Homo-oligomer: A and B are copies of this chain.
């Protein structure tokens, strides 16, 4: 069975504020959400918000303090440089923090980075070498 990613779960400390941020970004919470967990459809993959300590407990690991840099990020690929700029502006206006302004990058694309209110990183990229299909999914060579 080929591995697949169905959920990306972000551990959060303020569920109400984080849910509100992602709603301002344009996501709609599923009716399966409750005060302990929020589920958003992020185009066939579920973005879940779950308590930071609850996530550690469920995974059977110890939670230390929330790290400033987690060494994990997600990316939202756009169809043009213009679209990247629009998304970055939307993220800022929703309450995100611009970590790197969108710019042309060495590999030939155009990308920027924002953090959500608890520091989870989102890259927003236009990659001319990895086209996006009609369903909004990146096609890998």
Structural contact, B3 and A76, CB atoms closer than 8 A: yes
Q: Is A17 an interface position by the 8 A CB rule?
A: no
Q: Is A10 an interface position by the 8 A CB rule?
A: yes
Q: Which of B32, B46, B64 contacts A129 (CB 8 A)?
A: B32
Structural contact, B44 and A74, CB atoms closer than 8 A: no
Using C-beta atoms within 8 Å of the partner chain, give the interface range for chain A: 35 or more
Q: Is A137 an interface position by the 8 A CB rule?
A: yes
Structural contact, B60 and A9, CB atoms closer than 8 A: no
Q: How many copies does the complex hold?
A: 2
Mask, A122-141, CB within 8 Å of B = 1, is 01000001101001111011
Structural contact, B113 and A11, CB atoms closer than 8 A: no
Residues of chain B contacted by A135 (CB below 8 angstroms): 44
Q: Which of B63, B115, B120, B123 contacts A7 (CB 8 A)?
A: B123
Nearest neighbor of A79 in chain B, beta-carbon distance: B1
Residues of chain B contacted by A90 (CB below 8 angstroms): 1
Instruction: Find residues 31-87 in chain A having any chain B CB closer than 8 Å to their own CB.
Output: 31-32, 39-48, 52, 55-56, 58-64, 66-78, 83, 86-87
6 pairs of A and B residues whose beta carbons are closest in the complex = A60-B100, A4-B43, A11-B71, A7-B75, A67-B67, A30-B140
